[in-house]
Structure formats: C-alpha cells, structure tokens
Amino acid sequence: MHDAPGAGGEGPRKLVIRNIGMILSGRLEQPILDGDCVVCDGARIAAVGREGDLDTADATTVIDAMGTTLCPGLIDSHVHPVVGDYTPRQNQLGWIDSTLNGGVTTMISAGEVHMPGRPKDIAGLKAMAIFAQRAFANFRPAGVKVLAGAPVIEHGMEEADFAEMAAAGVTLLGEVGLGSVKDGPTAKRMVDWARRHGMQSTIHTGGPSIPGSGLIGADIVLEAGTDVVGHINGGHSALPDDQIVCICEGCRAGLEIVHNGNERAALLALNTAREMGDLGRVILGTDGPAGSGVQPLGILRMVAMLSALGNLPAEQAFCLATGNTARVRKLDCGIIEPGRAADFVFLDQAQHSGGASMLESVALGNLPGVGMTVIDGVVTGGRSRNTPPAGRVPVRVRG
C-alpha cells in the first residue's frame, strides 16, 4: 500500500479515533454501528467498538472525535479528471482539493474526455488511458484516490487492445457512447472483451450532454450490458420515465444517480430500485467537471436531496455514497469494518440547521458540516472550507 501524502516516516502507524458520537457503517443492512472508537493499523481499519474493549495503546495519532459522526469517506462514482488537480472543462485549478472538502476521498473516472485534443485513434486512446492510470496512481491530488485511465471505446478496437490495456494496469472503461460506438451489438462485444480482461464498464445513459455527444436509450443500455448504468438520471437530459424503469427492471447492473442530472428522474430511479428491493444497486456520482461546472459538495447534496425528497432515512442515503459504490465498484473502502481502507469523513450537524441531530438535519434537506477527513489512516484535512460550518469538529490530540 502507498502511504497518503503527509504520512511521515516509514515506521508503523497506529491511529485511534475516540469519543465518536455515531458510526455510520456504509452498509444498508446495518447503517449505524454500536461503538465510540475505531483503531487503524497503518492504512487499514483494525477494530471497531467501545473504547474500553479495544487495544488503544501505543497510538501514533489520536483523534478526539468530540462526539461527531464518523462516516466512511464518500465515493464519487462518476468524475471526468484530466491531469492532476486541473480541469480544462471549466479552466479550474484545485477542484479535487475542493471536493475533498466535501467529504469525498475516492473518485472514479468515467473517462478523461476533457483532455484537449483527446486522441480518438486506437493507439492514441490506449496510450492516454495508460498515461492517466499511471499519473493518478502516482499522484493523489490533495490525498484523494482518483481511479483513472478509463478509455472511451471506438470502432475498430479488437480484443487484443483490451488485453494490452489490462496488462498495463487499466481497470476501467469510460462511458460507452462518448466515442463512435453508439450501437448495442458493438458495445456489447467490446464490453464483454473488457470484462474478460478484468475491466469494469459504464455507459452514458440519456440524451447528449453537449453538442457532439449522442443519445443512448434503454435498448442500447440493456444490450451493452455494462457493469454500471452511468447517470441513469441523465447527464443532463434524462430518458423518458418508462425507459428508466425498463433499465432498472431489465438488468442487475449498478444504477448510478448523478448530481449533473435530472433530479426528478433521480427520484424515479431511487423509488423504482427501492420498490424492487434493490436499493443496494443505487450508487452516486457528480459527473463533474462538466457543463454545470464542478461540484465540491455534489455528493453531500445528493445524499441530502435523496433523503429529503426521496424519503430515505439519512443513514441509508449515506450508504448510497459509500458502501454501495464500494461493492458495485469492488473497492476496499466505503465501509467501516476491520480490513477496509481507513478512509473517513467526520460529520456534524451544520450550525443553525434544523433538526435535532445531524441525521435529522440531512433528512430535512440540509448539508452536514465536514470537520475532518482521513485517507489511508492519515489526516488529510480539517474543518471544511466549503460545507456549512459543523457544530463540533474533531481534534487531533496526538500525532
């Protein structure tokens, strides 16, 4: 494992987080855990429970949570990074650092499509995918884990191209439909090749996002058979309601709802999945940077919106942004349990927001305040400069 930037020396690290007011697990089956303490060994969670029952001796770092809520670091299932912490899409620097201030500790690329002069020939798109995977594996902007290197498929690709990229470390496909392949049979053939070589896939669902992109309807989504139905609520233009329901019912893929989409369609997808008993398939993304800009608080805003307008208990809404995404995306973070990555966001009720608790406040549609973030057991940020101020913030008392 790599240490996050700022991890310090090479000696053993032990992080103890005590005085936790509430632990959100990230798991829909049991969203709230009993306990007030988490112990981490290096980059991994070692134990969760009551402080008196855990081995807290010899900690190199101790955080007093001051009664705040410990939540798995949020995961953005749909971003379009290009290079470092710069996006040419809106000429913005520091958008990933800003998003860390919104509680996001892991981002997944749906394609580095905003690269100026993006190569669309096969040699060029393979080179760019390998370059992006390498660059973000070697450098975590603000400490955030950016899983990138997500090629957009084009006509003419052969299975050997997928084998070559997979052997070089590429694990994702960018949104099917953003390239020249917009028909079901070709998409399915290439998605199957990608899957055979261990690459996960997603698809652009809905109308064109900007001039030059195209429509992908339910028939193509279902035939392509990607692992994730990218922005089922459109990015921005959603499909007609009957097609959204048809996709939910017609496959077993992850159902991704994004901030840069249609909010009414988001609620339709949520309600359809819930009625099917399939809330575990619903995952969240921002789809930023995009025409709507970047959304540092996008994932928190989705959690609050789906909780308030979708009548989803807030502790369940947080699971859509953490454990659900981790399971659908096969990540080692997103859930608070021993063995998982020690990626956390500390939350508390925003000052002067309604409700008797952080969860009640979120269920009323308010954002929580972020007080601290931790990635791989290392503190990466304190009180957020972007969320409304948290009532209480954790304090690092050692290390």
Interface residues with Zn ion (CB under 5 A)? 175, 204, 235
| Least distance (Å) between residue 239 CB and Zn ion | 12
Cα 218 to Cα 139: distance, rounded to the nearest angstrom: 37
Residues 6+ positions from 79 with CB-CB distance below 8 Å: 107, 108, 109, 110, 146, 285, 286, 287, 288, 289
| Least distance (Å) between residue 235 CB and Zn ion | 4
| Least distance (Å) between residue 230 CB and Zn ion | 6
| Least distance (Å) between residue 347 CB and Zn ion | 29
When the beta carbons of 73 and 235 are compared against Zn ion, the nearer one is: 235
When the beta carbons of 175 and 343 are compared against Zn ion, the nearer one is: 175
Cα 146 to Cα 109: distance, rounded to the nearest angstrom: 7
When the beta carbons of 213 and 357 are compared against Zn ion, the nearer one is: 213
| C-alpha angle 121-290-246 in degrees, rounded to nearest 5 | 85
When the beta carbons of 73 and 151 are compared against Zn ion, the nearer one is: 151
| Least distance (Å) between residue 209 CB and Zn ion | 5
When the beta carbons of 62 and 215 are compared against Zn ion, the nearer one is: 215
| Least distance (Å) between residue 344 CB and Zn ion | 30
When the beta carbons of 235 and 289 are compared against Zn ion, the nearer one is: 235
Closest residue to Zn ion, based on beta-carbon distance: 204
